[in-house]
Chains A and B, each alone.
Chain A
Amino acid sequence: MPSSLRISTVGVRGIVGPGLKAHHALEFAAAFSVLLNRREPIMIARDPRASSVMLREGIVASLLASGRDVVDLGLASTPVLQHAIQSTNAAGGISIGASHNNAEWNALKFLGSNGTYLSSGEASELLDIYHLRKFDFRDWTQVGRLHFDDEAIERYINDLENVFDFEMLRGLKLVADCSSGLSSLILKRLKERHPIDITMINATLEPKAFAHTPNTNARTVGLQLAPVVQAIGGDMGVLFDMDSDRIAVCCGDGEVVSEEMILPLLAEYQLMRQPGRMIITNLSTTSMVEDVASRYGGTVLRVPVGRQHAMDALAMYPAERIAVAGEGTGAVMLPEFRFVYDGIASLLALASHLRQRGTSLKKLLAGMPSYDMRKAEVSLDAKRIPELMTELEDQWAGAKMDTQDGLRVDIDNGWFHVRVSNTEPVVRVIAEMREGSAEGLMSKLLDMVRSYA
């Protein structure tokens, strides 16, 4: 079995046992305590993986030893944890769970005092402390205490109520695939508190045997969710990843919606109510976001791929200037939720959008243009990448270029983006054409890229 341990500014992730080990949890938690200046409590939450309990024990031990009080939310999603940090005086938080990865994986995600992911600067400082292993374990009179908080989901739902009009959603027939994960805890309580019609599948939390890979892509939606939506005549199906920070959707007839469409749909919902605002997304996301922006007088800010860059960009603008931030993966942040990737909020926003437009998802999508997007990846020797980029620049000399993250080139009726993955030794190639097929462009690009392989 590959160890697959990845330690980066995004956090630490790996296959538990051969890769991610107990000492990673202990050492990263100790480093995180050193990073946070404020002495207020640190909040933690975990997903249902069996290994999450092991990691939790190590994290609690290190934080207590560092003189930190710990508030444990128990089984709770990352968005719920982020909300809890924001709504209390917590110094920060650690979310234990590998969201869309299979059961053998796990990960730690670090959150600052505003509940958002660490900035690039903070994240690299955390890594420096971890690598130096200069921890701050206190003497016996100063060890912290562990507290439990069972009310975080309730408070989170209270806040959802301030943003969404649940009465408006009455009568909408929704189906949710919880992927054996944490969204079910929130949806169950939502159903108890509001007359919303959500049929849940895979709603039992599983420590080992997930119902399916908890990945929010079209293939997973087609697996179980789409047939159920079709069979019971639902209005929309929503698939959550394990920690409900992102979604994938299908129409009432079971037709799977491309994950690229989630952001444009939510951007439209936001801009209709708040015209002129800005959409923040990465260089690899569909140009449909520009279409939506121009329709409502908004703008688009494109940043390099990776959660970190979106967070850094968000920090540069006041929240009231931003409509939405997100990726083409179905992970979207709304300003009402203080910029946290939140699948439940995305679902509610999407459902509210359908209600406000008074139409079905199918018809809504039919009214939007259909662009041809192609994606591919090629393994490449790292030392030849600069040559490749230079050749691409020469080839499209004169076109509009963006070199923040590899090379993105905008051409007539389309664009392409060639970049090196942050997590794997591969070059990713994405091309989109607003008219006609992207196949020609894609094959030309791939020929060039492969000539360096």
Chain B
Amino acid sequence: MREHKLKVGVSGVRGVVGEYLTPLLAADFAQAFGAYVGRGRVVLGRDTRFTGPMIEHAVACGLLAAGCEVVRVGVQTTPTMQIYIAETGAVGGIGITASHNPAEYNALKLFNGEGLFFNHYERTELLDLFHQSDFNAATNEEMLGVTVDETTPWKRHINRVLKHVDVERIRQRRFRVALDGVNGAGSELSVWFLEEVLGCDLHAIHVDPSKSFPREAEPKPESLGDLMVLVRAHECDIGFGQDPDGDRLAVCDELGVMLDNNDMLAIAIESALIKAPGDVAVNLTTSNVVEEVAAKHGRRVYRTAVGEANVVDRMRAVKALIGGEGSSGGVIFSGTHLCRDSYTAMALLLDRMASEKIKLSDLDRALPRFFRRSGKVQFAHGKLGGLMLGMEKLYPEAQLERTDGLKLLLEDGWVHLRASNTEPILRVAVESRVESRADQLFSDAMTLLRG
């Protein structure tokens, strides 16, 4: 199988730094971005990866060459950057982070002037411009400079988060909280936020932004063993695990058990719906637990293709209150900003625990129970259509949903197949209320797909 060490596509540029993701490519792409958004202020930030400063200089070079003013915000989380862009009237922003990808990767996350991820159409236009490589090159007379603002972005961010929770009520509970910051962009902000702002008794690990990632960057049960131990050792009420750019969150309950990200999202959604009315948008792979929670509050759930930008596009269109992606631990609360934000998620969960005086494991247990299985299969180019047809034949009774790959909706569960955007693999997810049925759906699908 081909190794995908570099990807230049509609989601931007992502690759293994060095031979693949070079400063030349980063500068060229940034210049195309600058030409696309126009000659205004562009916010430039990064996560804590060692290659961040190098890519940052390359991107600054490209942006300045395009005639943009560069506002350097240094190490900031992705939601912090998005909010800062929206609040300061910038024409766009570039976040240098490969998010949950391993340390050898880096990437450019692209934001428009509203502080939102580029939507599909914007991304396509930018990519065309990049390939035409005939973008504006500013003269000395037209050239703007670099300004630096490293302190106001995170203050603006937290101010927004706090508008929607009862800070005093949380502080009074003096929650005992465990944190694994993966030495990422949110490390220092999270310590300040949990300890100083929310008055928690904090037990934090991996909160040194000068160090490399101590674990797999994606926050999930397999990578958060240290967090579970920490929760048990200090008898914490809750444990939080972040990713390197602070948008995703995984949560551990007071028993030291990681919550399924779908359940965490469902709890966050309910916490928001208790506070304010509004609809919900989640991707097609997210658990039906979300529908049940929304139905309890008389709210509708919109389903979208996988990808934060798709969920956000829909939330924006239908003015949804909250949304997210169950698979990736991302909570998007429109009250803060239309972006995945681990800080909003933390605040919503702590606020709910404070107001209802309830343990996290009890909140989790109160959710309707679904059983989920997921896996992936490599496929040869050209074979995808045949595999999809085979699945349709396997379940002739299924209702079909083709927004993103193929989702087969059955009486007692569903199967979702979608090809990855970045690799020739097919992701398979199934869900059912009945555990044995989930196992059967999963093994039938995998058997067929493996041929």
Q: Which residues of A contact B271 (CB under 8 A)?
A: none
Known: A22-B27, A103-B141. A57 touches B54 (CB 8 A): no
Interface pair A139/B23, CB less than 8 Å apart: no
Interface pair A140/B65, CB less than 8 Å apart: no
Task: Tell me if A64 is interfacial: C-beta within 8 Å of chain B.
Answer: yes
Interface pair B54/A54, CB less than 8 Å apart: no
Interface pair A15/B57, CB less than 8 Å apart: no
Interface pair B139/A16, CB less than 8 Å apart: yes
Against B, the Cβ 8 Å flags (1 = close, 0 = not) of A51-72 are 1011101101110110000000
Interface pair B61/A65, CB less than 8 Å apart: no
Interface pair A51/B143, CB less than 8 Å apart: yes
Task: Tell me if B104 is interfacial: C-beta within 8 Å of chain A.
Answer: yes
B57-109 interface (Cβ within 8 A of A): 57-58, 60-62, 64-65, 103-104, 106
CA distance A17 to B141 in the complex (A): 10
Interface pair B143/A138, CB less than 8 Å apart: no
Of all chain B residues, the one with the shortest Cβ separation from A15 is B139
A24-77 interface (Cβ within 8 A of B): 25-27, 30, 49-51, 53-55, 57-58, 60-62, 64-65
Task: Tell me if B374 is interfacial: C-beta within 8 Å of chain A.
Answer: no
Of all chain A residues, the one with the shortest Cβ separation from B26 is A61
Interface pair B138/A17, CB less than 8 Å apart: yes
Q: Which residues of B contact A49 (CB under 8 A)?
A: 140
Interface pair A139/B27, CB less than 8 Å apart: no
Task: Tell me if A451 is interfacial: C-beta within 8 Å of chain B.
Answer: no
A198 → B minimal CB distance (Å): 29
- Which of B14-22, B154-162, B238-246, B422-430 lies at the binding interface? B14-22
Interface pair A26/B140, CB less than 8 Å apart: no
Interface pair A58/B58, CB less than 8 Å apart: yes
Q: Which residues of B contact A23 (CB under 8 A)?
A: 24, 27-28
Residue from the list B23, B24, B50, B64 in contact with A141, Cβ < 8 A: B50
Q: Which residues of B contact A51 (CB under 8 A)?
A: 139-140, 143
Task: Tell me if B361 is interfacial: C-beta within 8 Å of chain A.
Answer: no
Of all chain A residues, the one with the shortest Cβ separation from B103 is A140
Interface pair A139/B28, CB less than 8 Å apart: no
Q: Which residues of A contact B23 (CB under 8 A)?
A: 26, 30, 58, 61-62, 64-65, 137
Interface pair B31/A22, CB less than 8 Å apart: yes
A276 → B minimal CB distance (Å): 47
Q: Which residues of A contact B55 (CB under 8 A)?
A: 61
Task: Tell me if B137 is interfacial: C-beta within 8 Å of chain A.
Answer: yes
Interface pair A58/B53, CB less than 8 Å apart: no
Q: Which residues of A contact B31 (CB under 8 A)?
A: 22
Interface pair A58/B18, CB less than 8 Å apart: no
Chain A interface size range:
35 or more
Task: Tell me if A208 is interfacial: C-beta within 8 Å of chain B.
Answer: yes
B113-147 interface (Cβ within 8 A of A): 137-146
CA distance A55 to B62 in the complex (A): 9
CA distance A139 to B54 in the complex (A): 12
CA distance A140 to B55 in the complex (A): 11
B267 → A minimal CB distance (Å): 36
Of all chain A residues, the one with the shortest Cβ separation from B105 is A140
CA distance A144 to B23 in the complex (A): 13
CA distance A141 to B411 in the complex (A): 52
Task: Tell me if B51 is interfacial: C-beta within 8 Å of chain A.
Answer: yes
Interface pair A140/B145, CB less than 8 Å apart: no
Interface pair A54/B64, CB less than 8 Å apart: yes
CA distance A25 to B61 in the complex (A): 9
Task: Tell me if A172 is interfacial: C-beta within 8 Å of chain B.
Answer: no
Known: A17-B138, A26-B27. A64 touches B54 (CB 8 A): yes
Of all chain B residues, the one with the shortest Cβ separation from A104 is B140
Residue from the list A61, A144, A146 in contact with B27, Cβ < 8 A: A61
Task: Tell me if B352 is interfacial: C-beta within 8 Å of chain A.
Answer: no
Interface pair A17/B24, CB less than 8 Å apart: no
Task: Tell me if B49 is interfacial: C-beta within 8 Å of chain A.
Answer: yes
Interface pair A21/B65, CB less than 8 Å apart: yes
Residue from the list A17, A27, A140 in contact with B51, Cβ < 8 A: A140
Q: Which residues of B contact A144 (CB under 8 A)?
A: 54
Interface pair B137/A61, CB less than 8 Å apart: no
Q: Which residues of A contact B22 (CB under 8 A)?
A: 65, 135, 137
Residue from the list B26, B27, B140 in contact with A106, Cβ < 8 A: B140
Q: Which residues of A contact B18 (CB under 8 A)?
A: 65, 137-140, 142
Chain B interface mostly helix, strand, loop or mixed?
A: mixed
Task: Tell me if A18 is interfacial: C-beta within 8 Å of chain B.
Answer: yes
CA distance A399 to B64 in the complex (A): 57
CA distance A54 to B144 in the complex (A): 9
Of all chain A residues, the one with the shortest Cβ separation from B102 is A140
Against B, the Cβ 8 Å flags (1 = close, 0 = not) of A273-307 are 00000000000000000000000000000000000
CA distance A453 to B326 in the complex (A): 78
Q: Which residues of B contact A445 (CB under 8 A)?
A: none
Task: Tell me if A143 is interfacial: C-beta within 8 Å of chain B.
Answer: yes
Q: Which residues of B contact A103 (CB under 8 A)?
A: 140-141
CA distance A1 to B143 in the complex (A): 16
Q: Which residues of A contact B17 (CB under 8 A)?
A: 65, 139-140, 143
CA distance A139 to B5 in the complex (A): 12
Q: Which residues of A contact B24 (CB under 8 A)?
A: 23, 26-27, 30, 62
Interface pair A146/B53, CB less than 8 Å apart: yes
Interface pair A17/B58, CB less than 8 Å apart: no
Interface pair A57/B137, CB less than 8 Å apart: no
CA distance A103 to B143 in the complex (A): 12
Q: Which residues of A contact B145 (CB under 8 A)?
A: 50, 53, 207
Q: Which residues of A contact B27 (CB under 8 A)?
A: 22-23, 26, 58, 61
A397 → B minimal CB distance (Å): 51
Q: Which residues of B contact A54 (CB under 8 A)?
A: 60-61, 64-65, 143
Interface pair B64/A143, CB less than 8 Å apart: no
A401-423 interface (Cβ within 8 A of B): none
Q: Which residues of B contact A16 (CB under 8 A)?
A: 137-140, 143
Q: Which residues of B contact A145 (CB under 8 A)?
A: 53
A138-173 interface (Cβ within 8 A of B): 138-146
Interface pair B141/A61, CB less than 8 Å apart: no
Q: Which residues of B contact A1 (CB under 8 A)?
A: 139
B34 → A minimal CB distance (Å): 10
A346 → B minimal CB distance (Å): 28
B181 → A minimal CB distance (Å): 20
CA distance A141 to B64 in the complex (A): 28
A93-145 interface (Cβ within 8 A of B): 103-106, 135, 137-145
Of all chain B residues, the one with the shortest Cβ separation from A142 is B18
CA distance A30 to B22 in the complex (A): 11
B288 → A minimal CB distance (Å): 40
Interface pair B141/A208, CB less than 8 Å apart: yes
Against B, the Cβ 8 Å flags (1 = close, 0 = not) of A175-188 are 00000000000000
Q: Which residues of B contact A64 (CB under 8 A)?
A: 23, 53-54, 57
Q: Which residues of B contact A135 (CB under 8 A)?
A: 22
B residues whose Cβ falls under 8 Å from a Cβ of A:
16-19, 22-24, 26-28, 31, 49-51, 53-58, 60-62, 64-65, 103-104, 106, 137-146
Of the A-B pairs whose beta carbons lie under 8 Å apart in the complex, a sample of 23, sorted by A's number, is A1-B139, A16-B143, A17-B137, A21-B65, A22-B61, A22-B64, A23-B24, A26-B58, A26-B61, A50-B140, A53-B64, A54-B60, A55-B61, A57-B64, A58-B58, A58-B61, A60-B54, A61-B26, A61-B27, A64-B23, A104-B139, A141-B50, A142-B18
The 8 nearest A-B residue pairs measured at CB? A61-B58, A58-B61, A57-B61, A54-B64, A61-B57, A22-B65, A61-B23, A64-B54
A residues whose Cβ falls under 8 Å from a Cβ of B:
1, 15-18, 21-23, 25-27, 30, 49-51, 53-55, 57-58, 60-62, 64-65, 103-106, 135, 137-146, 207-208
| Besides A58-B23, A58-B58, A65-B22, 16 other A-B contacts (C-beta < 8 A) | A16-B139, A16-B140, A22-B61, A23-B27, A50-B141, A50-B144, A53-B64, A54-B60, A60-B54, A61-B57, A61-B58, A65-B54, A104-B141, A143-B51, A143-B54, A145-B53
